[in-house]
Amino acid sequence: MNIAPTRRIGRRVLVAVAVLITTALGFAALATGSASAGHRPDGPKPTIVLVHGGWDNSSGWNDVITKLQKRGYPVIAPANPLRSLSSDAAYVSSVLDTITGPIVLVGHSYGGAVITNAALGHDNVEALVYIAAFAPDAGESLLQLVTMNPGSEIGPSTLITRPYPLPDGTQGTDLYLTREGLGTAFAADVKPKTQDQMFATQRPFSEEAFASPSGEPAWKTIPSWYLVASNDRAIPPATQRFMAQRAGAHTSEVDSSHVPQISHPAETVDVILEAADSVS
């Protein structure tokens, strides 16, 4: 019996299988490469530092943190003291001092003013991301910016004031949102149950922080991204667009209240990832 043809057929099958396996592995490698495109293959991913604003706390970033950590990013969301712009920026700057490697610095609302000042002097801060945030120029205050255009519902009818003692024996004034104000001006597209929790756990920020003039802005020297919340009734969208354009930021919009990191975390993460992809 002549078995040579059978052996030749067997060898041909083995060669064909080997080619298919090699091709499949090649496609898998290409897919992996595409998934990690934009990130440095020879270096660590940037650390994402998330800075909350007034009437919020670090837990407001929870959904964003989960999505970023699933993608392998180191994340830190420090507690913003909310006392004065200069001291809050100094505190966040001290946190940045402890981080090695590239940083993407993200701020929401008042947190945007904080990162604008805190990033100065940190060469490893390679991108700034503003989420419905203040991006002041030198000498500007939040009060000045929030009244630049009509549309903000932050005011006497939506605020509760509470005095607190200062180290020198005088008194400062803390600003809290009323329950109605939180549901209209701040988090209109968040479920009522979550609004109740946000109202109970809100961290106030001081009148001093609201009126403090900003220093030289980091957005003049660091590339920036801006997510405009188009249904915002805290910082008018027109003012957000103005600040984004002035900073030369890569700008996108989301149909959101003032808290897109809570009501639209996926869109918020997309903007942060765009900034992270730019880090080189």
Residue extents of the structural domains in the chain: 47-278
Share of the chain above pLDDT 70, in %: 84
Homologous superfamily assigned to 47-278: Alpha/Beta hydrolase fold, catalytic domain (3.40.50.1820)
CB atoms within 10 A of CB 86: 16
CA 62 – CA 14 distance, rounded (Å): 52
CA 46 – CA 58 distance, rounded (Å): 19
Stretch 42-70: mean pLDDT = 95
CA 119 – CA 105 distance, rounded (Å): 8
Furthest C-alpha separation in the chain? 108
Q: Which pLDDT belongs to residue 280?
A: 63
| Sheet strands side by side (includes 224-229) | 75-76, 47-51, 103-108, 125-131, 224-229, 250-254
Q: Is the pLDDT of residue 33 over 90?
A: no
20: enclosing H helix or E strand: helix 4-35
Say if CB 245 and CB 251 are below 8 A apart.
yes
CA 127 – CA 134 distance, rounded (Å): 16
Q: Is the pLDDT of residue 4 over 80?
A: no
Kindly report the pTM of this predicted structure: 0.85
pLDDT digits over 151-208, tens only? 999 999 999 999 999 999 999 999 999 999 999 999 999 999 999 999 999 999 999 9
Enter the DSSP assignment of 159: E
CA 41 – CA 52 distance, rounded (Å): 31
Instruction: Specify the 3-state DSSP secondary structure of 52.
Output: coil
Q: Which pLDDT belongs to residue 44?
A: 84
Whose tokens are 């890569």? That residue is: 250
pLDDT digits over 216-268, tens only? 999 999 999 999 999 999 999 999 999 999 999 999 999 999 999 999 999 99
